Amino acid sequence: MDYQIALLGGDGIGPEVIAQAARVLERVGTAFGHSFVFKPALIGGYAIDATGSALPDETLAACRSADAVLLGAVGGPKWDNPTATVRPEQGLLGIRKGLGLYANLRPVKMNEMLIGASTIKPEVLRGTDLVVVRELTGGIYFGERGRRDDGNTAYDTMIYSRAEIERVLHTAFRLARQRRGKVTSVDKANVLESSRLWRETATIVAKAYPDVAFEHLLVDACAMHLIRRPATFDVIVTENMFGDILTDEASMLAGSMGMLPSASLAEGTLGLYEPIHGSAPDIAGQGIANPVGAILSAALLLRLSLGLEQEALAVERAVDQVLAEGYRTRDIAENASEVITTTVMGDLICERVTA
């Protein structure tokens, strides 16, 4: 069967790591008898330079007609001007809205082989295996904003509807049923009215899943417990801004952002898959970026959008095998002599993908 995959390399190291993810998908196709047709498109800073838009109409159309989307990263110092009319991050916000990507899933699983790469004590990290489900199309990033009083007062509005909250909570509970059966809903209900609606709605939704353990947690307490006792979490669900912050914090449990994938899901099977790291312009073009996060994002694509569970497991096993053999990119190497390039890491993982 042919699968149409939109490839959005983006900026910085994005094209480098997405190229390796695409190679791994090609290897999956050879091993399992599938065909992947890649449709490259522009997003972010490079798109601004080429078209004047961070999300050209052609890119959005290509994504809508695809079975799934692989994205690298956007942004860089060249476009780092908060007052600019057109900015790379507008491409991310635009594609989330344009594709209806309402739920962002970020798994964080501690790989025993890399436990020394984290700054957290091994005894705290051991056993960590969690997923943060972040609501992606509502909240303060999409609320009314502006300036008044001659520019001396600024405001951003956090707004949520009950329907938006219910939708992402159901996603979290369904996911927990496939995992260890626990959901932690994170809010700031002691201060924010939008969080009080969130907590009220979460309490109601939880009643539909009596088989899933459920708790509320304030966002500041969650931030603390992620560092203090990360292994006690299973599925964490929260609103857009809190999720943005907590997922970056959680990513550091694994020692490097280069290791971790993510999935942004719409209704149905369409999803956008990307490593959680940024564009890392300081190392772009040097061949030292870690492609594992992008490759594991491709594994999520296989599982969640295409329903190819065995193929996804084959990719994940290949990554584990390469790491077990001691191969490391610079960000996770304890000794300089261990370092391999982006392409070599891709080569090694491809070689180990078998049916």
* Active site members: 141, 188, 220, 244, 248
Could you give the 3-state DSSP secondary structure of residue 135?
Answer: strand
Please give, one letter per residue, the 3-state secondary structure of 301-344.
HHHHHCCCHHHHHHHHHHHHHHHHCCCECHHHCCCHHHECCHHH
CB 277 within 8 A of CB 106: no
Number of H helices, E strands in the chain: 12, 12
Q: Using alpha carbons, list the distances in angstroms from residue 29 to 6, 127, 157, 193, 244.
A: 16, 33, 46, 49, 34
**Amino acid letter at 198?**
W
CB 289 within 8 A of CB 283: yes
Distance of alpha carbon 294 from the chain centroid: 10
Q: What angle do CA 116, 181, 213 make, to 5 degrees?
A: 110
Task: Catalogue the E-assigned strands of the chain.
Answer: 2-10, 35-40, 68-73, 103-109, 129-135, 145-148, 153-156, 182-187, 213-218, 235-238, 263-265, 271-273
Could you give the 3-state DSSP secondary structure of residue 331?
Answer: helix
